Amino acid sequence: MNFAHVMDFTTIFALVITLVAAITVFKGIRIAPQQSVWIVEKLGKYDRKLEPGLNIIIPYIESVPYQHSLKEYAMEVQEQTAITRDNVTLLLDGIIYLKVTDPVHASYGVTNPVFAVTQLALGNRQAHHGRDLRGTRPPECQYRHRHQRRGAELGHPVHAL
């Protein structure tokens, strides 16, 4: 057996092991920016939240599937039409301000939290303007608002995720 051949194999093997170790360490160090929260899953199950700053995770076992910004941001809400008591058609538009207050609920409580909050705002606007413009509220809106109030009393976030 040639000594140079053994040395080459040992050197290459050491370089491969060093490269794998460096990649593992690199994947294990996470730096979360200010005003953000990252959700950590261990083998596909929720484990913890990573706060801003330097964090360490176990590579190949833990992952970061969700990253939420805690900043408030504005979104345009699609236009809706409304008819007043004297049959005047109005075009209602608006802006909704969103802020994630519970990152775990925003990650696992609903598939698309931004869409859910937008639809809730549209429904509330429609019910509010329906009551003000027509003078009465349809029965299905009364049920929805009673259900939302009940959810808020139980501590479930209704307007913010």
Q: Which residue has the higher pLDDT, 54 or 83?
A: 54
Q: What are phi and psi of 89, to 5 degrees?
A: -85, 130
103-138 confidence digits (pLDDT tens): 999 899 888 888 888 888 888 877 776 655 555 555
Q: Is the pTM of this model over 0.85?
A: no
Positive or negative: CA dihedral 117, 120, 121, 122: positive
The reported pLDDT for the residue numbered 156 is 47
Within the chain, what is the greatest distance between any pair of CA atoms? 100
Give the closest residue to 71 by CA, choosing from 48, 41, 101. 101
